[in-house]
Amino acid sequence: MRQEKIHVTVIGAGLMGHAIAQVFLAGGHNVYLHDRNREILADAPGKIRDIYNLLKQDPSTLINLTCEEALWDAVQNAELVIEAGPEKLEIKQAIFAQLSELAPDTAILATNTSAIPIHEVSAKVVNRSRVVGTHFWNPPHLVRLVEVVQSDKTALSTVQRTISLLEGVAMKPVHVKHDIPGFIGNRLQHAMKREAIALVSAGVCDAETIDTVVKHSFGSRLAILGPMEQSDLVGLNLTLDILTVLFPTLDNSTEPPPLLVDKVKRGETGMATGKGFRDWTKESAEQVKNRMRDYLTKQSSREV
Ligand SMILES: NC(=O)c1ccc[n+]([C@@H]2O[C@H](COP(=O)([O-])OP(=O)(O)OC[C@H]3O[C@@H](n4cnc5c(N)ncnc54)[C@H](O)[C@@H]3O)[C@@H](O)[C@H]2O)c1
C-alpha cells in the first residue's frame, strides 16, 4: 500500500547513510541527505544510482534527493530524521542536541546506532519521547530487517509511526521493547560467535571448519526457518533433552576471549589486513564480498 510522501532527512552519507537514503527514495519520499564531509556528500548521488542499477530499479525517484551541506536546511521541514553518523556517543549526542533545536517538534528523531543505548543517544534532546532506534542492517537495500528500539523515554506512538513508515518502504521492522545493548539480532549473532571462538580456542576445530559447519548445516536453512520455529518443528521435548546436556558445557565467559584480543593486538583484524581468524588475499576477500552481494541481490529480488 502506497503511503503519503514525507520529508525524510538522513544525517551521515557514509556506508549506511547513502543506502538508507536510497531505500526511502525508492519508496517514494523526498530525501535530504546531510554529511559534514563535503566530498562524501558529493559522492553520494553516484553511489545511490549504483544501488538503483544493482537492483534494476527505475532511477526516476532520484530526482527527489537533495544533498544538503547545511544541517538547518536539511532538517527544518523534516518529518523523520535518521542519524547514521559515526558510532561515537559524543558525536551522536551532539547531533541529537542540534536536531532537538533545529527539526520541527513533530519530527521523529531516529538513530541507526549498532549498540549504544537509545536513552544515552537522546540524553540532550528536550522531548525524548520522539527519539527511537532504527537499527538497519548492512546493506539496507538488500537486508530488510530494521530493529525499532524503544527506550523508556520513547512514546509508543513514535514506535508505531516509525514501524508504519518502514513498512511503507518495503522494510521489515520489528519492535524491540527494551533498550538493551545489541538489541536482538546482534545479541543472537554474538552469542554464536562466543561459542565459535571458544571451540577454536579449545582446539576442537579451526576457523574454516566453523564456517563450513555453519554454512552447510543450520545456516543453510536459517533464512527460512528461525530457531524458535525450528524448535517447534523438531519438538520442544527433543530441544529440552539436547539443552540439558549442552547448556552446562557451553562457553559462558563475560570478557572478550584472549584469542580475539591477541589477534587485534597483533594487527590481525581480518580481510583488510590479510589475516584474521582466517588468511585472506585481496582476491579471496573480494570473492567473499561479491558472493554475499550476489546472493542477497537474488534473495531480495525474489522477495519483491
Ligand atoms: N557499517 C555497518 O555494517 C553498520 C550496520 C548497522 C548499523 N551501523 C551504524 O550506522 C552508523 C553509521 O555507520 P557507517 O558504517 O555508515 O559509518 P561511516 O563512517 O561510513 O559513515 C559515517 C558518516 O558520518 C559523517 N559524519 C561524521 N560526523 C558527522 C556530523 N557531526 N554530522 C554529519 N555527518 C557526520 C562522516 O563524514 C561519514 O560520512 C553507525 O552508528 C554504525 O554503528 C553500521
Tens-place pLDDT, residues 45-98: 999 999 999 999 999 999 999 999 999 999 999 999 999 999 999 999 999 999
Ligand 1: residues with CB < 6 A are 11-17, 34-37, 40, 84-87, 91, 95, 112-114, 136-138
For the segment 284-300, the average pLDDT, to the nearest whole number, is 93
Testing ligand 1's pocket by substitution, the residue of 68, 71, 114, 116 carrying the most ligand atoms inside 8 A of its CB is 114
> How many whole angstroms separate alpha carbon 205 and alpha carbon 153?
46
Distances in whole angstroms, Cα of residue 223 to Cα of each of 155, 232, 265, 295: 32, 16, 35, 12
For 265-279, b/e burial (b = at least 16 CB within 10 A) is: eeeeeebeeeebbee
Q: How far is the CA of 198 from the centre of ligand 1 (A)?
A: 31
Look at residue 300 in the predicted model and tell me its pLDDT: 80
Residue nearest to atom 30 of ligand 1 (CA): 36
Question: By percentage, how much of the chain surpasses pLDDT 90?
Answer: 96
> Maximum CA pair distance of the chain?
60
> How many whole angstroms separate alpha carbon 289 and alpha carbon 233?
33
Mean predicted lDDT score pLDDT of the chain: 96
Q: Which residues contact 215 (CB under 8 A, 6 or more apart)?
A: none
Could you tell me the three cell numbers for 247?
547448556
pLDDT tier, 230 (very low <50, low <70, confident <90, very high otherwise): very high
Domains of the chain: 7-176 (3.40.50.720), 189-303 (1.10.1040.10)
Look at residue 142 in the predicted model and tell me its pLDDT: 95
82 near 12, Cβ under 8 Å?
no
Testing ligand 1's pocket by substitution, the residue of 34, 99, 112 carrying the most ligand atoms inside 8 A of its CB is 112
DSSP3 helix / strand / coil % (the chain, rounded to 5): 50, 15, 35
- Which amino acid is it at 44? A
> How many whole angstroms separate alpha carbon 43 and alpha carbon 13?
9
Closest ligand 1 atom number to CA of residue 40:
39
For the segment 260-286, the average pLDDT, to the nearest whole number, is 98
Testing ligand 1's pocket by substitution, the residue of 15, 92, 121 carrying the most ligand atoms inside 8 A of its CB is 15
For the segment 30-55, the average pLDDT, to the nearest whole number, is 97
Q: How far is the CA of 229 from the centre of ligand 1 (A)?
A: 34
Look at residue 201 in the predicted model and tell me its pLDDT: 98
> How many whole angstroms separate alpha carbon 101 and alpha carbon 89?
19
- Plot region of 136 (φ>0 → left; ψ -120 to 50 → alpha; else → beta): beta
For the segment 239-262, the average pLDDT, to the nearest whole number, is 97
For the segment 186-197, the average pLDDT, to the nearest whole number, is 97
Residue nearest to atom 11 of ligand 1 (CA): 84
> How many whole angstroms separate alpha carbon 247 and alpha carbon 242?
8
Residue nearest to atom 27 of ligand 1 (CA): 85
- Give the DSSP letter of residue 275: B
pTM confidence score: 0.94
Q: What are phi and psi of 262, to 5 degrees?
A: -65, -40
Burial of 116 (0-12, 13-18, 19+ CB in 10 A): middle
Q: For residue 2, is pLDDT > 70?
A: no
Look at residue 3 in the predicted model and tell me its pLDDT: 66
Q: How far is the CA of 82 from the centre of ligand 1 (A)?
A: 11
For the segment 170-188, the average pLDDT, to the nearest whole number, is 96
Count of CB atoms within 10 A of residue 77's CB? Answer: 14
Look at residue 1 in the predicted model and tell me its pLDDT: 45
